[in-house]
Structure 1
Amino acid sequence: MSAGSARKRLFSTKPVVPARLADTVSDAIAAALFDGRIAPGEALPAEVEIAREFGVSKPIAREALRQLAAAGLILTQQGKVARAKAMNGEPMERIYGYAARSSLERLREANEMRRVIETGIARLAAERRDPAGLAAMERALHDMVGSIKEPAGFTEADILFHLGIALATGNAMIRVQMEGMRSVQREVSEVFARRANRTDADWSATVERHRAIYEAIAAGAPDLAGQKIIAHFEAADIASLEVAEKLGSAGDTQR
């Protein structure tokens, strides 16, 4: 795109504060990404154009793009223009994954975080009941039943179910948060896989807890949905304690 060609104005520029030049530039570009002025997959202006737009140097424009890439908002490759990425929970998923794998104690904390967050999400899902979320939960329940005694498939169905709860809220930021917690779900499933005594009844009970959550959300019952989520996590906590007893001090030695 040449400097003289007609083009839409992408950024809402603000007075640039010298102490935080790159932050000011990255904030303005992020705003354009979030409100749709730059669509996923679309190329951003070249560094020189960004620098000209904000009245900063090319190194400052380059640093702003590095910040956005680190946040997972754009894709940068050597010798190519930066492109916008669809908003997702990938950066948080990496952070939560590192934490959950570091020790059993961090895994417990991460699961506690999920319980606190997902209780509110389930309540809002029951109030809004977005069809896309309800459909995802139904599909996940079907997949769970078909994946009993198959930990990998069951885990993916479980992740889809909880993502469906987020989708049912119709809130994009909640969807991103739930995507970010996928690594925690996977770690919990791996811990549960160490339970040598996991019976058919255990598998079925897990499915039925999820079904109860779905039914409460589909019925538009926020209080009941919150209760069913809490009951689900209480059962998961009991299982975690069983594993902890078998692992002994594994969590302490891994810190």
Structure 2
Amino acid sequence: MPVDSTEKPLFASKLDAPPRLADAVSEAIAAALFDGRIATGDPLPSEGEIAREFGISKPIAREALRQLSGAGLIQTQQGKVARAKAITGEPLDRIYGYAVRSSLTRLREANEMRHLVETGIARLAAERRDAEGLAMMEEAVREMHAGLGEPDRFTAADIAFHLGMAMATGNAMIRMQVEGMRSVQREVSELFSRRSSRTRADWQATVRRHEDLLAAIRDGEVEAAVQMVDRHYEAADIASFEVAGEGDEGPAGG
């Protein structure tokens, strides 16, 4: 993808003096990905074209692309042009997934983090009430009702609900963060669903908590939305972690 000299350059090719040139090049390309100059699925310039654009060597251009691939921003394949990937929380989700599966301590810590993050998300969602996010939350609640007693289906709907709440803020970075926490939510939900004492009334109570949270956000009741998040996490923590047993730190310890 050669750069037409009559058009605005694809990258900001003037580099500061970085510790490593590859870092500066990868950041310039990432900026083009995040601000939409390179759209999802678009091919990136070749290593040679990147090298000419920035006045660097091909190995440095190759290292910059390797960094972007490792961050999950582009897709590279031997012998094929690199392409932009959809920007999501997938890389963070993998990291959290490793952490929460390593021990109950890490899972508790991650769920505590998620509680704090979602308190702020609920507040902003109730203030902004983005229509797409609200619609996603409403559909997720309907799916929860349909998936009562079906752990996999119910968990998928639960994850969709919280992603919808993030989308209701209208903030793309918040959406990415919540996508990155799906592993945490999935592990907690699976613990919750594995309880031998889990009754239909328990499932229904979980749905009602989500319905109350949705109503508070939809009605713009900011403080009520925050309280609903606190209530939801208090109930979910007790129910989910009791199945693991007090002091059980899992296979990897604390």
Deviation at 1:254, TM superposition (A): 2.5
Paired residue type of 2:89: G
Alignment map for 1:98-247 (pairs within 5 Å): 98-245=98-245
**CA spacing shift, 1:50–1:145, aligned 2, 3 Å:** same
SS across alignment from 1:243 = coil
Paired residue type of 2:164: G
Q: Which residue of 2 aligns with 1:251?
A: 249
SS across alignment from 1:19 = coil
Matches of 2:170 and 2:15 in 1, distance apart?
35
Matches of 1:4 and 1:201 in 2, distance apart?
64
Matches of 2:62 and 2:160 in 1, distance apart?
37
| Paired positions, count | 253
Paired residue type of 1:161: F
When structure 1 is superposed on structure 2, of 6-15 and 103-112 the one drifting more is 6-15
Alignment map for 1:52-131 (pairs within 5 Å): 52-131=52-131
Matches of 1:84 and 1:39 in 2, distance apart?
7
Deviation at 1:17, TM superposition (A): 2.2
Kept in 1: contact 2:3–2:10 (CA 8 A): no
Paired residue type of 1:184: V
**CA spacing shift, 1:63–1:13, aligned 2, 3 Å:** same
What is the CA deviation profile of residues 50-103 of structure 1, one whole-angstrom value per residue up to 9, with x for unaligned ones? 011111110100000011111111111111111111110100000011001001
Paired residue type of 1:15: L
Deviation at 1:8, TM superposition (A): 4.9
Report sequence identity in percent.
66
Unaligned stretches of 5+ residues in structure 2 = none
Matches of 2:34 and 2:243 in 1, distance apart?
42
Name the one with the larger helix percent: 1
Matches of 1:3 and 1:144 in 2, distance apart?
50
Deviation at 1:150, TM superposition (A): 0.3
Matches of 1:249 and 1:44 in 2, distance apart?
51
Deviation at 1:5, TM superposition (A): 7.9
Paired residue type of 1:234: E
- The CA RMSD measured in Å over matched residues stands at 1.6
TM-score for the superposition, normalised by structure 1: 0.95
Q: Which residue of 2 aligns with 1:22?
A: 22
**CA spacing shift, 1:2–1:230, aligned 2, 3 Å:** closer
Matches of 1:94 and 1:179 in 2, distance apart?
10
SS across alignment from 1:236 = helix
Matches of 1:116 and 1:4 in 2, distance apart?
47
Matches of 2:240 and 2:106 in 1, distance apart?
12
**CA spacing shift, 1:224–1:3, aligned 2, 3 Å:** closer
